[in-house]
């Protein structure tokens, strides 16, 4: 083919390509306009002819939420009414009285008063029942409704009516709302003479400054030589804060995380761009299956850069990035715009929302698509399943008895009773549940008429039903009945059997009534097996260093 013919062919192909792109774009725009018109006319007909009155706002919001739910759980519509809640999630700040509330047996109950804020300073205690807020009865209200009444302009009072355990008459308080800022670092301190500890509960705005402040104090005032950074059950938050925290521990110019999406403006690589605080301190990052998003960026980057050890359980597996877009009428759209990739190049996203099953469910990334990567020192790591710990520590599950006692608020209520009858207790680290206190708890549980069924008991009941249906029961009825009797829980026996784990739950709950969140964390540290493992490894430098040797395999199973 000569040059002229070749050039002509190329021009024709380019014109055809441009025409095809234009046609595809036109077709896509037409389909969007067509379906929006169908939606509008359908809604208009529904609003006009449906047999009962409908709530247009509720119906439209429901349709928007259902549409977004078909994409992924993190793409959300935020109405103007929900903006304050969204702002609290990203900043940790709001104006209110500073209390956590919950619903218990149909009543709105104070779960926790935040230390140093209006609720606690005005004497409101965990266990107090909220009867009225701003003159409105809380009966039949949701926790969201009550929370909205408690929040409002700073330095403006709100009247609350409460009922306290052990008191016959309710009492009223006028509480002045203040700006509430929840600490992203609820506690930091020393675990032993050389090991510092920082608990980071969320990645809200400026949390990196809180971590930096804690680290500086642990190093300068306590001479910390190693650090335990606790990210367990941290759901994540602002990606930029995770980058800033990593920047404290790695050399300037290191890649920390990159994002890639359909729109090129979201493709970005985040590097450490300021002078670090400490590039040599030994670090153990604690994670569990509820550590997600920004927590996984920290854990994954520490692992990929061979900067720190990851200890605990495999993380959640959320490798998606959300961006907030403004909508009309002060609403917003939080939309997934990219996936993030940690330094080795791997994405830790575990669920594939883009390829749903026929029933609408979402599957995990199959093993056949899991790819092998290497850390900075040549260790093997894998994508597609969260961040697997360098040092796994088995997560112990609560017994059914302990779970049910906590779920039905008997642990909470006993702590309320105890705090009402005891003016003070020793420091969190010193307080231990005595045999007398535990005996009192057993009596309390019995007084409440508590009963429960074990999972084993439920299974044997189903087995008996199946045996009867298949006509095998009569021939082995004695054996079935004997097994059922053995598996029927004996409350007194099991309360003694599971005393160690119940004592831990009770200690933490009781301590929180006197020393609040910081105290509860301090009390829990002594019995924490994951923290103990981290301290053990950090105190053995050769063991710590050995984990970073080339050839060490870290695999998500």
Q: Write down the residue that tokens 């409002």 correspond to.
A: 152
Phi and psi torsions of 12, nearest 5°: -65, -45
10 Å Cβ neighbour count for 109? 22
Q: Are 226 and 196 in contact (CB under 8 A)?
A: yes
* 304: annotated active-site residue: yes
10 Å Cβ neighbour count for 58? 9
**Closest Cα partner for 244 from 215, 209, 295?**
209
Beta strand pairing status for 226-230 and 129-133?
A: unpaired
The DSSP output letter for 364 is B
Among residues 111, 113, 201, 293, the one annotated as catalytic is 293
* 528: annotated active-site residue: no
How many Cα atoms occupy the beta-carbon half-sphere of 337 within 13 Å? 15
Cα→Cα distances 448→119, 417, 480, Å: 29, 13, 31
Q: What is d(CA 111, CA 104) in angstroms, rounded to the nearest whole number?
A: 10
Among residues 72, 183, 304, 508, the one annotated as catalytic is 304
Q: What is d(CA 492, CA 207) in angstroms, rounded to the nearest whole number?
A: 46
Q: 3-state DSSP call for residue 508?
A: helix
Q: 3-state DSSP call for residue 336?
A: strand
Residues with Cβ < 8 Å from 11, sequence gap 6 or more? none
Please work out, in degrees rounded to the nearest 5, the angle formed at the alpha carbon of residue 77 by the alpha carbons of 264 and 40. Answer: 100
CA-based torsion, 314, 319, 320, 321: positive or negative: positive
10 Å Cβ neighbour count for 386? 24
Task: Give one word for 331, left, alpha or beta, with left for phi > 0 and alpha for psi -120 to 50.
Answer: beta
The DSSP output letter for 168 is S
* 318: annotated active-site residue: yes
Q: Are 512 and 274 in contact (CB under 8 A)?
A: no
Among residues 161, 244, 314, 318, the one annotated as catalytic is 318
By annotation, the residues acting in catalysis are: 293, 304, 318
């Amino acid at each position: 083919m000569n040059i002229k013919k070749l050039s002509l062919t190329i021009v024709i192909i380019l014109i055809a390509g441009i025409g095809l792109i234009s046609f595809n774009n036109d077709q896509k725009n037409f389909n969007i306009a067509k379906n929006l018109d169908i939606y509008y006319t359908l809604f208009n007909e529904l609003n006009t002819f449906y047999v009962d009155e409908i709530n247009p706002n509720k119906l439209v919001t429901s349709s928007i939420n259902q549409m977004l739910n078909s994409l992924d759980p993190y793409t959300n519509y935020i109405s103007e009414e929900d903006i304050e809640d969204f702002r609290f999630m990203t900043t940790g700040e709001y104006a209110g009285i500073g209390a956590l509330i919950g619903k218990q047996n149909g009543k709105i109950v104070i779960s926790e008063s935040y230390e140093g804020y209006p609720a606690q300073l005005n004497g409101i205690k965990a266990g107090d029942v909220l009867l009225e807020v701003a003159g409105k009865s809380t009966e039949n209200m949701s926790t969201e409704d009550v929370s909205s009444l408690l929040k409002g302009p700073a330095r403006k009072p709100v009247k609350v009516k409460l009922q306290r355990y052990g008191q016959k008459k309710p009492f009223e308080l006028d509480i002045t709302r203040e700006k509430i800022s929840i600490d992203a670092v609820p506690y930091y301190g020393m675990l032993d003479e050389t090991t510092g500890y920082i608990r980071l509960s969320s990645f809200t705005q400026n949390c990196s400054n809180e971590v930096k402040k804690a680290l500086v104090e642990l190093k300068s005032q306590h001479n910390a030589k190693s650090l335990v950074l606790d990210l367990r059950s941290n759901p994540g938050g602002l990606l930029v804060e995770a980058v800033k925290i990593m920047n404290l521990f790695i050399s300037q110019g290191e890649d920390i995380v990159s994002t890639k999406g359909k729109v090129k403006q979201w493709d970005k690589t985040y590097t450490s761009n300021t002078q670090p605080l400490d590039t040599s301190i030994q670090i153990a990052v604690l994670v569990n299956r509820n550590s997600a998003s920004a927590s996984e960026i920290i854990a994954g980057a520490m692992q990929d850069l061979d900067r720190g050890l990851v200890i605990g359980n495999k993380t959640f597996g959320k490798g998606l990035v959300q961006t907030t877009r403004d909508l009309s009428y002060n609403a917003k759209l939080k939309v997934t715009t990219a996936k993030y990739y940690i330094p080795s190049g791997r994405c830790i996203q575990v669920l594939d929302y883009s390829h749903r099953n026929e029933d609408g469910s979402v599957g995990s990334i199959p093993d056949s698509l899991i790819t092998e990567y290497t850390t900075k020192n040549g260790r093997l790591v894998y994508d597609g399943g969260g961040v697997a710990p360098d040092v796994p520590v088995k997560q112990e599950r609560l017994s059914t008895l302990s779970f049910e006692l906590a779920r039905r608020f008997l642990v909470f209520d006993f702590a309320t009773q105890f705090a009402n009858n005891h003016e003070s207790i020793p420091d969190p680290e010193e307080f231990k549940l005595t045999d007398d206190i535990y005996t009192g708890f057993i009596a309390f549980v019995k007084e409440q008429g508590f009963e429960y069924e074990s999972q084993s008991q439920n299974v044997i009941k189903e087995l008996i039903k199946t045996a009867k249906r298949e006509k095998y029961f009569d021939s082995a009825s004695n054996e079935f009945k004997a097994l059922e009797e053995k598996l029927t829980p004996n409350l007194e026996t099991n309360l003694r059997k599971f005393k160690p784990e119940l004592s831990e739950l009770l200690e933490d709950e009781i301590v929180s009534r006197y020393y609040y969140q910081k105290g509860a964390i301090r009390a829990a540290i002594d019995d924490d097996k994951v923290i103990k493992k981290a301290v053990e490894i950090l105190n053995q430098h050769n063991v710590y260093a050995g984990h970073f040797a080339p050839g060490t395999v870290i695999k998500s199973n």
